[in-house]
Amino acid sequence: MNILKVNGVELAYDSFGNENNEAIILIAGLGTQMIRWTAPFCEMLAARGFRVIRFDNRDVGCSTHFSHYPTLNFDALATALMSGQRPDIPYTLDDMSTDVIGLLDALSIDRAHIVGRSMGGMIAQLVASEYPERVISLTSIMSSSGNPNLPQASQEAMALMTKPAPHPFEDEAGFLAHSLTFAKRIAGTGYPFEEDAYRVLIMEEVRRAYDPGSFGRQIAAIAVSGDRRPRLATIKAPTLVIHGVEDPLFVPACGEDTASAIPGAELMLVDGMGHDLPHQLYKVTVDGIERTARRN
């Protein structure tokens, strides 16, 4: 793992493959760390002839945290947004997209393929719309356009996602039970839920950095992002939108709306996929990313 200072924050990253190959930047989702892009996934992409870079977004993992900000009050955030006020938040998705460009600059990479999942897909969309000269291709996975008229997430899934978890260092069993319940709820039914592997992954995240407040701060960044469709309409890079048919957080209509908003985008709906990326779907996902990357 390496650390670079960009855009006023420190970002932790690592890299797979030949540094002379075209780069793919992998952007993680809400409150999750770069290791959610597992090493086998990164190695599979690198084997296709790319330099693959994954990194911790600001406020998670080994990157700069914003723990000095007060804990997010969801009711106050909702009230401010409904009244048309701009809530006081530490950063926005635009700041996070600028982090990606700063990372490219620090690594002396002129142009890259941008791939994001969930919140990372939103960040990737902003990178492609605001910095077209830096983006060779875009892949947005299990994400959305910000269209306020889209169907909302399952109430059950949202309740599980926003319910406070026990502290992992005080109640590891309770923390794991909470995390596994949510992970199972958002997983698709097309592939076995591998509980042991997931348990190892989430405890690795805890060991790298535990900051429960970052989840709320990133929720706020998403909430103020608004409707991105006008910005998506300006994207010129070859684009692929991958979405699970069984996604309970961003229902399939969210992927369909994203693809329809981006000129020439390809939509790939995946049966049996929820809001997760099981290893059985690595190959089809890597195939899609590579196909989109080669469209140039």
Kindly report, residue by residue over 130-172, the tens digit of the pLDDT. Answer: 999 999 999 999 999 999 999 999 888 888 888 889 999 999 9
Instruction: Tally the C-alpha atoms within 13 A of residue 35's C-alpha that lie toward its C-beta.
Output: 17
Q: Is residue 185 part of a domain?
A: no
Q: In what order do the strands lie in the sheet with 9-16?
A: 2-6, 9-16, 51-55, 23-27, 112-117, 135-141, 239-244, 266-270
Which residue range is the domain that position 243 belongs to? 2-151+212-293
Choose the most confident range, by mean pLDDT, from 25-29, 88-92, 152-156.
Answer: 25-29
Kindly tell me the burial class for residue 242, based on how many C-beta atoms sit within 10 Å of its own C-beta (0-12, 13-18, 19 or more).
buried
Number of helical H runs and strand E runs in the chain: 11, 8
* pLDDT at residue 293 is higher than 80: yes
- Give the CATH number for residue 113: 3.40.50.1820
95 within some domain: yes
CA-CA distance, 41 to 52, in Å (whole number)? 10
Amino acid at 87: P
Residue 167 inside a domain? The answer is no
pLDDT over 80 at 5, yes or no: yes
In a domain, 203, yes or no: no
pLDDT over 90 (residue 57): yes
pTM (2 d.p.): 0.95
Whether the per-residue pLDDT at 84 is higher than 80: the answer is no
Assess whether pLDDT exceeds 90 at residue 181.
yes
192 within some domain: no
Tally of domains within the chain: 1
**77 has pLDDT over 90:** no
Any idea which of 157-171, 191-205, 225-239 has the lowest mean pLDDT? 157-171
Identify the pLDDT of residue 81.
66
| Average pLDDT value over all residues in the chain | 95
Share of the chain above pLDDT 70, in %: 97
**Is-contact 48 288, C-beta < 8 A?**
no
Residue 76 has pLDDT above 90, yes or no: no
| Percentage of residues in the chain having pLDDT higher than 90 | 85
> In 3-state terms, what secondary structure has residue 258?
helix
Q: Name the residue type at position 69.
A: Y
Residue 176: inside a domain, yes or no?
no
What's residue 286's pLDDT?
98
Asked if residue 183 is part of any domain, the answer here is no
Lowest mean pLDDT among 45-49, 76-80, 138-142, 272-276: 76-80
> Please, how many CA atoms are within 13 Å of residue 204, restricted to the half-sphere of its CB?
12
Contacts of 116 (CB under 8 A, 6+ apart): 26, 27, 28, 29, 122, 123, 124, 125, 139, 140, 141, 143
Model confidence band, residue 15 (pLDDT cutoffs 50, 70, 90):
very high
pLDDT average, residue stretch 177-206: 96
Q: For the segment 95-130, what is each residue's pLDDT rounded down to a tens digit?
A: 999 999 999 999 999 999 999 999 999 999 999 999
In a domain, residue 181? The reply is no
Please give the backbone phi and psi of residue 23, each rounded to the nearest 5 degrees, phi first. Answer: -90, 145
| 85 against 152, higher pLDDT | 152
